[in-house]
Amino acid sequence: MKLRQVVVITGASSGIGRGAAQAFAARGAGVVLAARSEQALTEVARECGERGGRALAVPTDVSDEEAVQILARRAVEKFGRIDVWVNAAAVWSYGRFEDTPGPVFRQIVDTTLLGQVYAARAVLPQFRTQGHGLLINIGSLYGRLSAPYIAPYVTAKWGLLGFSEVLRQELRDAPGITVCTILPGAVDTPIYRHAANYIGRQIRPLPPVTSPDRVVTAVLRAADHPQREIVVGQTHRIGAWIHRLTPRFYDRLITPFVNACAVRNFPLPSHHGTVFTADSPTHTVDDGWRRHDHRLVGRALMVSAGVTALATAGARAVHRRRGQTRSVTIHQAPTAR
């Protein structure tokens, strides 16, 4: 059976990468799944098979260049070609730069930026041999703007946008090869649960949180109609505009905004999250933040409806009492004269 597409996905064990693997498989693609967690990849391979795709799981640490070379070779040995390569592997941490251990900073950049560089080095020769290929780098709006407590991630994502631009310029001699960057805002995946934490408080994504399905749809759209860049999550795009137009105002505003909207009031001991090792039980596509937020909005609406009803009833009662007092005064006035 001829496969519609052969797609390599890094970060395929969780979140956006896992959702993309399922979606490509449902379209009858051959998918090559890469991440560190062998157990989670085996589950994803089964999910892909159930959706009609053919899957090959290749446990890979993308911060190891030789491992990424092997991944590309295994994909070509299995399916004969690579049409699309999706770079979705990433790790991140929360903590002031001065509190973030050096090895954690390095591993985040090694995974989130250099992992994508190694992928490009592994797959571009194959794309040139075939005369076609699409490299999809999942960046972030944090490649356009910045926020406190996530210095290594912001460093990696800014670097990734620059790297992708240079690739595009150098690949003008190969019209069949395209490099697409996808820039999501906050997405409802386990990445926040996976993050290392050195600020001692739990963290949540900055609202509004987008469904991972929307990013997966963008990846599929890019695979059908390759384009330079796709932004997912328009509200966060406004942040990027403020950042560009009034950088001083942005710098002043962003820390109180993050403290109020992302740092929760629940204490949390420092930990390295999944920066160095995978945690397969937490690997899902969706992490439930939107359900949580909908419940909060529902509760807030109920409370404000209750407060409005009470205030209206109170105002009516006061109004009635004033009306009675006024009628008593009018009634008594002639007697007073």
Residues binding ligand NAP (CB under 6 A): 10-11, 13-17, 35-37, 40, 60-63, 88-91, 111, 138, 140, 184, 186-187, 189-191, 194, 205, 274, 278
| Beta strand ranges found along the chain (DSSP E) | 6-10, 30-34, 54-57, 84-87, 93-94, 133-138, 177-184, 196-197, 201-203, 229-232, 263-267
Q: Residue 270: which residues within 8 A CB-CB, separation 6 or more?
A: 95, 197, 198, 200
Instruction: Assess contact for 34 and 119: CB atoms under 8 A.
Output: no
Count CB atoms within 10 A of the CB of residue 177: 21
CB of 38 to ligand NAP, least distance (A): 8
Token pair, residue 141, equals 């709006």
Cβ proximity to ligand NAP, 38 vs 170, nearer residue? 38
Cβ proximity to ligand NAP, 53 vs 190, nearer residue? 190
Cβ proximity to ligand NAP, 100 vs 111, nearer residue? 111
CA–CA dist 211, 216 (Å, integer): 9
Compute φ and ψ for 263, nearest 5 degrees. -90, 120
Cβ proximity to ligand NAP, 33 vs 199, nearer residue? 33
CB of 291 to ligand NAP, least distance (A): 16
Residue nearest to ligand NAP (CB): 15
Amino acid at 281: P
Cβ proximity to ligand NAP, 174 vs 263, nearer residue? 263
Q: Comparing C-alpha atoms, which of 209, 169, 167 is closest to residue 191?
A: 209
Single out the catalytic residue among 142, 149, 153, 198. 153
CB of 135 to ligand NAP, least distance (A): 14
CB of 197 to ligand NAP, least distance (A): 14
Active-site annotation holds for 153? yes
CB of 149 to ligand NAP, least distance (A): 14
CA–CA dist 56, 48 (Å, integer): 10
* Secondary element (H or E) of residue 291: helix 289-336
CB of 25 to ligand NAP, least distance (A): 16
Partnered with residue 284 across adjacent β-strands are none
Compute φ and ψ for 329, nearest 5 degrees. -60, -45
Count CB atoms within 10 A of the CB of residue 223: 22
Cβ proximity to ligand NAP, 62 vs 203, nearer residue? 62
DSSP per-residue string spanning 273-289: TTSSS--GGG--S--SH
Residues tagged active-site: 153
